Amino acid sequence: MFGRRLIVAAATAVLMAGLGACGGEGGGGGTGGEDPGAVTDVGRSDTGTVRQAAPSPDTVSGLRDSVRHLAKKTTKATRPHLVKKCTSATRRVRHTERTGTGTRRTTRTWYTTERYRTCKKVRSGTETYTRTVRSQRWCVSLDNVDGDTAKDDVWYQVARATYDEARGADEHTRMEFTPTATGC
């Protein structure tokens, strides 16, 4: 009974492997020998004309509307001041020594005092420090984002170089960049 199941399982595996190999060879798979992991239909359309590949989903384009620079915002705050406090202590250490063999074996035991220090951080008042409330941001606002006329005045946080480029450009100049975040 077990041998029959094993034979049926092996035959099924061979049959599936054979069908899988035939499926991708232009017969019914439709890929025409292309890599199954490759991106297909990029640059093709039904009319036979070549389409442009879509830009990266992270890239946005539109008409420059305005720019904004938000400076770093900080405030003074307090936190516990921690100091390192060490204490010295001693402990008794036991030592043993064995000499001889057989019936003449002896064991000598003696004790010594060992000094050690333990350190830990303890709170000792408070300290004042500068806390960052908002990091520095460079922002650009676009109209007609990705060609959609309904998407106007959309703010994006950008790198300093992109901000400088947008600042020097005229209003309603077409720009394309990769934002670091949305909103401002």
142 and 177 in a single domain? The answer is yes
Could you tell me the residue range of the domain that residue 116 belongs to? 75-131
Pairing, β 181-182 against β 106-134: unpaired
65 and 80 in a single domain? The answer is no
pLDDT in tens, 29-80: 444 444 444 343 444 444 444 444 444 468 888 888 889 999 999 999 999 9
At residue 145 the predicted structure's pLDDT band, cuts being 50, 70 and 90, is confident
Nearest to 182 by CA among 148, 127, 145: 145
Domain annotation covers residue 30 = no
Domain annotation covers residue 65 = yes
Domain annotation covers residue 13 = no
The last residue of a domain, from among 131, 158, 174: 131
Domain annotation covers residue 49 = no
Global confidence as pTM: 0.45
Domain annotation covers residue 176 = yes
Domain annotation covers residue 144 = yes
84 and 169 in a single domain? The answer is no
Cα gap 180→151, rounded to integer Å: 19
